[in-house]
Amino acid sequence: MEMQRHPCGFIYTREFSDFLREKYHAEESGHPGELLSLEYVSCGDGDKAGMSWLKLAWVNLFAGPSENHLEIGDTAVFIHKQSQRGLKNRLLHYTDGQVVVKK
C-alpha cells in the first residue's frame, strides 16, 4: 500500500487520493465555484461515542480561509483547522467502496 504524509500531519493512501480525484471529476460540473470539503467527525458521547467518520461535501470556494485549501494528490480540497487537528497522525484509505479513517 503506497502512503504519503500530508504536510498538515495526516497520512493518506494512493487509493484515497484516487477516490477523491474521481469523485471530484464526476461531480465538479454540478458545483461551479465550489471546493470539495472533508470534515472529520469524532463522537465523544451518546449512541455513537467513540466512533469517527469522514464527511465529504461541497463548499463555496470563498467560504473559508485559504490556508484551509489543501491538496491531496492532485485534488484541491477544503479541510477546516479542527478537522486537520483531528486527522493528525491518522490514515485515510479507500477500500471496498468506503473511506476508512484509522489511528
Average pLDDT over residues 72-82: 95
Domains and CATH numbers, the chain: 3-102 (2.60.300.12)
Per-residue cell: 85: 487537528
H helices of the chain, in order, are 14-27, 81-87
Mean pLDDT of 82-90: 95
Q: Residues 22-69: pLDDT tens digits?
A: 999 999 999 999 999 999 988 878 887 777 889 999 999 988 889 999
Cα 102 from Cα 99, distance rounded (Å): 10
pLDDT at position 59: 95
Let me know: does 97 contact 41? Beta carbons within 8 Å: no
| pLDDT tens, position by position, 2-31 | 999 999 999 999 999 999 999 999 999 999
The pTM of this model reads 0.90
